[in-house]
């Protein structure tokens, strides 16, 4: 048994080392791993090699086409590398903010859930969450006097959608 576990571990380490070596071989000297992949993606889109992506080239990627005008900050009809880099940076920042918000929301829910039953009651909310208390009845979709995470998510989703419709 020990020998088998040892062989599995050795095989896994060898696979990692081989993968790393193969990845390093496809990159230029001193080039970070992600840069090689990014350069390949850029080259696959920049068909005419002019260093920018125009609308015709962007058509190969529907999501890029959909976001083209937002990414093209200077409005010249072409996406320069710095515009795309900035769009990626902003998207990553938004994703990180959403993840941080999600973790904070889960932590607050857990803190408020005094009896650890995965549901919040008006008594548990006390004075700790006045806005949630005000909206309790609207959020409690099944009217059982308890708020579970799914009810909170559904309410938040409905609020975002309503806000989006008002802004349109």
| Angle (nearest 5°) at CA 15 between 43 and 26 | 25
pLDDT band for position 166 (cuts 50, 70, 90): low
The per-residue pLDDT for range 34-73, each reduced to its tens digit, is: 568 888 988 999 999 999 999 999 999 999 999 999 999 9
pLDDT, mean over the chain: 83
pLDDT on residue 3 = 45
Rounded to the nearest 10 degrees, what angle do helices 81-112 and 149-167 cross at?
Answer: 140
Q: Six-digit token pair at 134?
A: 């005000």
Per residue in 12-36, pLDDT (tens digit) is 444 444 454 445 444 444 444 556 8
Instruction: Provide the pLDDT for residue 165.
Output: 74
pLDDT of residue 95: 94
Which pLDDT band holds residue 167 (cuts at 50, 70, 90)? low
Angle between helices 62-71 and 81-112 (to 10 degrees): 100
Q: Looking at residue 141, what DSSP letter applies?
A: T
Q: What is the pLDDT of residues 110-139, one digit of tens each?
A: 999 999 999 999 999 999 999 999 999 999
> pLDDT at residue 87 above 50?
yes
pLDDT value of residue 37: 86
- The backbone torsions φ and ψ at residue 67, rounded to the nearest 5 degrees and listed phi first, read -105, 5
Cβ atoms 62, 49 nearer than 8 A = no
Residue 99 phi, psi dihedral angles, 5° rounding: -65, -40
């Amino acid at each position: 048994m020990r020998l088998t576990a040892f062989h599995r571990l050795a095989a896994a380490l060898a696979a990692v080392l081989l993968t790393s070596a193969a990845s390093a071989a496809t990159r230029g000297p001193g080039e970070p791993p992600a840069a090689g992949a990014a350069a390949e993606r850029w080259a696959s889109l920049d068909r005419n090699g002019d260093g920018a992506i125009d609308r015709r080239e962007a058509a190969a990627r529907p999501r890029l086409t959909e976001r083209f005008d937002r990414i093209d900050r200077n409005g010249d009809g072409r996406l320069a590398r710095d515009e795309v880099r900035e769009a990626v940076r902003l998207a990553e920042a938004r994703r990180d903010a959403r993840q941080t918000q999600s973790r904070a929301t889960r932590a607050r829910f857990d803190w408020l859930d005094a009896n650890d039953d995965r549901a919040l009651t008006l008594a548990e909310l006390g004075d700790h969450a006045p806005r949630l208390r005000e909206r309790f009845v609207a959020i409690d979709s099944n009217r059982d006097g308890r708020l579970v995470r799914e009810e909170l998510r559904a309410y938040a989703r409905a609020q975002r959608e309503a806000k989006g419709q008002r802004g349109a």
